[in-house]
Structure formats: structure tokens, C-alpha cells
């Protein structure tokens, strides 16, 4: 989850709209961009909905608790949306995430993610002698499902943390560890037809700029800016067993007024992501899944200079999800980038997720 993708490295790309007064700033940006990872250059967080939890809670479960959850997240999201509306970034999901759990189900989740990146790319070409980046990311997540006005909803909070390590760069990138920006979300299912194996939901995500950030560091887990992501997901059965998951999202970004050693103002255009998965159940408690994802957009701007670094990247993933106990699930996926236009290319990724039903 948590964009949050290791893409927007500018790698010496010529800047646009720079006059004579901006030549010094242009040179500084080029020098920094070759080695530095900006504050949103972090590993992708799987910040979406848990997979295929269908346990039923007793009919007398406490409705008051559910209403408190809904009211809290609703107020937080509404307040944030009224206070800003600027452009943000894409969110990876797991296959089956848009299959909702039963009302009054509470989930606790732990994500562990490891990724290796060996080279930077510019215009689709690998830069020789470029830096590498390893990331070890964890996410704690709490989710509660309920019904509101006849629709299934799931207010939740995600707390990412971890470590970033630069490689092959003589220490120019360095490392960083700590908390990333917390994420608030509340998906709502507009279509919930388990008997037909059809589901459609919309999820707003709010990234709160409380993570670890130091403008003098090349690597940061926090981004020092607000972000908002809106994602739509659709699930349908194909035949008796196979299931298809489709999702698309847009991220809009707030401004970071303290970017880099010179405290430049950093802006970013909206970015987009499109994802698709196929799932096949081997048993009632075990399935296999494969997926493809494509991301685009997100051009960066430093002060008055657009960097012409819009993202176009694609990747694959494959894995499984297994309820090895009645209320405990283990999910794992591996993957790597297929193509990257600008920034780091992931050579390998391992995601592990442990889910507990309460």
C-alpha cells in the first residue's frame, strides 16, 4: 500500500519552462534527481480491502460500535475533502479485495513487503551505473464491516512503517526508517450480490502527512503532503470457479513546500492505475491468483519547472491465499516490473499478508 511508488526520479531529464533566472535551479534539480529519491519514491503499499472473508457474526452483534466507526471515518474523510482537493497516487490491491466480509466482522491484518530495485530508467532506457533501492515495509491495519443505508461499508485505518536502503551509489541515497503516512479509508459497495458472485465498490483513501520526513534526506517514508485516492473495483465470476477482479484508481496530490535541501515547492499531476486479476480456488480455503497492473501519469513539478517525467509502468504478480485456520488467512505474492519509463524498476517483490478475523 502504501503509494508510494518508486517511479518519479527525474534522472537528468531536461526541465521545461525555465528562463535565464532559473538556470541555477535547473542544474541543481538535475544533479539531485540523478541520485535522490524524492519523498514519494517509496515502495507500493497494498492499501485496499481484505480478501474473501465470509464469516458470519451473531445476529445480535453491537450496532452501536459500527455506527461509531462509520461516523468517525465519515467525518475525517469529509473534513479532509472539504479542506483540499488537489491532485495523488495509485494503490495496489490483492485479488479478491472487493469481495466484502459479512456485516459486523472486524479484521486485523499485518502486511510484510520486500522489494529490490537495481537500476534507474529514463525514457525506458536503463542508466548505467545508477543507484539501487531495497525496501522492507510493514503495515498494520484494522477494518470493520457494517451496513449503512442498505450498503456494505468498511471503515479502516492503515499504519505503514519500514526501512529504505540505497545501493550501488556510494552512500548518496543513504537509508531511512520509521513510520510512513497513515491512511484512512472507507469503501462502500454499490453492488453486493454474493449469490451471483458480483460485487462493485468505490473506496476513498486519505493519506495524512504524519510520517517520518526530513527535507535534507534523499530517502523518506513520509511525503510531507496530503494525498487522496479514489478507487473503483469490480468482481465477477467466470464459469463455476474462476473469478475476475478489475480495478482502476486516480490519485491527486497536495503540495510539499519543503522538498529537498533548498525547500522547493513540489507539485504533481494526477496519476492513474489499472489492475486485473484471475483467481482459481483449489479448495474452499485455498486459491491461486495472477495479476497485471499498469500505471501512468504523475508528472512532477519543482518550483516553476515541469520535469517531463510522467510514469508508464507495468508489472505482473502471482500467488495464493490460504485459510490455514478457520479465522486466520495467509496470503503471499511474488512479482516484478515488466517495463518502466522513468525511475526505479523492481527486479523482485515479495508480499506476505496475515489476516485475523475477530
CATH of the domain at 114: 2.40.128.130
Separation CA 309–CA 294 (nearest Å) = 16
Q: Is 121 in contact with 162 (CB distance < 8 Å)?
A: no
Query: In terms of residue numbers, what domain contains 96?
Result: 20-357
Does residue 9 fall inside a structural domain? Answer: no
Best CA proximity match to 145, nearest among 210, 49, 253, 239:
49
Position 52 pLDDT exceeds 60: no
- The whole-model pTM stands at 0.79
In-domain check, residue 207: yes
DSSP 24-42: HHHHHHHHHHHH---TT--
Q: Does a structural domain hold residue 1?
A: no
Q: How many domains does the chain have?
A: 1
Residue 4 is assigned to a structural domain of this protein: no
The per-residue pLDDT for range 123-164, each reduced to its tens digit, is 888 888 777 899 999 999 999 999 999 999 999 999 999 999
CB within 8 A of 354, min separation 6: which ones?
109, 110, 328, 329, 330
Beginning with the edge strand found earlier in the chain, give each strand of the sheet holding 264-268 in spatial order.
256-259, 264-268, 300-302, 305-306
Is residue 8 domain-resident?
A: no
User: pLDDT by residue (tens digit) across 229-283?
Assistant: 999 999 999 999 999 999 999 999 999 999 999 999 999 999 999 999 999 999 9
Backbone angles phi, psi at 21, to 5 degrees: -65, -15
* pLDDT over 90 percentage in the chain: 64
Range from 7-16, 58-67, 183-192, 246-255 carrying the lowest mean pLDDT: 7-16
Question: What is the distance of C-alpha 294 from the center of its chain?
Answer: 13
pLDDT of residue 200: 99
146 inside domain: yes
Residue whose C-alpha cell reads 513510520 in the numeric block: 179
Asked whether residue 233 is domain-assigned, the answer is yes
Quote the mean pLDDT of the chain: 82
User: What is the enclosing helix (H) or strand (E) of 74?
Assistant: helix 63-83
State the DSSP H helix or E strand holding residue 250, giving kind and residue range, or none if neither: strand 242-253
pLDDT above 70 coverage of the chain, percent: 74
Domain for residue 137, yes or no? yes
Amino acid at each position: 500500500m502504501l503509494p508510494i511508488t518508486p517511479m518519479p526520479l527525474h534522472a537528468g531529464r531536461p526541465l521545461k519552462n525555465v528562463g535565464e533566472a532559473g538556470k541555477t535551479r535547473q542544474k541543481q534539480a538535475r544533479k539531485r534527481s540523478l541520485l535522490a529519491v524524492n519523498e514519494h519514491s517509496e515502495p507500493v503499499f497494498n492499501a485496499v480491502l481484505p480478501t474473501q472473508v465470509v464469516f458470519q457474526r451473531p445476529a445480535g452483534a453491537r450496532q452501536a460500535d459500527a455506527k461509531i466507526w462509520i461516523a468517525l471515518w465519515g467525518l475525517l474523510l469529509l473534513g479532509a475533502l472539504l479542506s483540499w482537493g488537489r491532485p495523488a497516487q495509485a494503490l495496489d490491491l490483492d485479488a479478491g479485495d472487493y469481495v466484502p466480509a459479512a456485516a459486523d466482522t472486524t479484521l486485523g491484518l499485518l502486511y510484510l513487503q520486500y522489494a529490490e530495485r537495481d537500476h534507474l530508467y529514463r525514457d525506458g532506457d536503463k542508466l548505467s551505473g545508477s543507484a539501487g533501492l531495497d525496501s522492507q515495509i510493514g503495515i498494520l491495519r484494522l477494518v470493520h464491516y457494517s451496513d449503512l443505508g442498505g450498503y456494505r461499508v468498511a471503515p479502516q485505518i492503515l499504519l505503514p512503517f519500514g526501512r529504505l536502503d540505497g545501493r550501488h551509489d556510494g552512500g548518496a541515497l543513504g537509508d531511512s526508517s520509521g513510520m510512513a503516512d497513515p491512511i484512512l479509508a472507507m469503501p462502500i459497495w454499490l453492488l453486493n450480490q454474493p449469490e451471483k458472485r458480483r460485487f462493485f465498490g468505490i473506496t476513498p483513501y486519505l493519506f495524512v502527512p504524519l510520517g517520518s520526513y526530513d527535507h535534507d534526506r534523499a530517502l523518506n517514508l513520509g511525503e510531507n503532503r496530503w494525498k487522496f485516492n479514489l478507487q473503483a473495483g469490480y468482481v465477477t465470476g467466470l464459469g463455476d470457479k474462476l473469478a475476475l477482479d478489475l480495478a482502476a484508481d486516480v490519485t491527486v496530490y497536495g503540495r510539499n513546500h519543503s522538498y529537498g535541501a533548498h525547500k522547493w515547492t513540489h507539485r504533481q499531476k494526477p496519476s492513474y492505475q489499472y489492475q486485473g486479476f484471475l483467481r482459481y480456488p483449489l479448495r474452499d480455503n485455498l486459491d491461486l491468483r495472477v495479476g497485471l497492473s499498469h500505471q501512468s501519469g504523475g508528472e512532477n513539478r519543482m518550483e516553476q519547472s515541469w520535469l517531463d517525467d510522467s510514469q508508464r509502468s507495468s508489472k505482473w504478480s502471482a500467488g495464493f491465499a490460504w485459510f490455514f485456520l478457520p479465522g486466520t488467512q495467509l496470503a503471499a505474492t511474488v512479482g516484478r516490473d515488466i517495463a518502466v519509463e522513468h525511475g526505479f524498476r523492481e527486479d523482485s517483490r515479495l508480499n506476505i499478508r496475515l489476516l485475523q478475523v475477530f
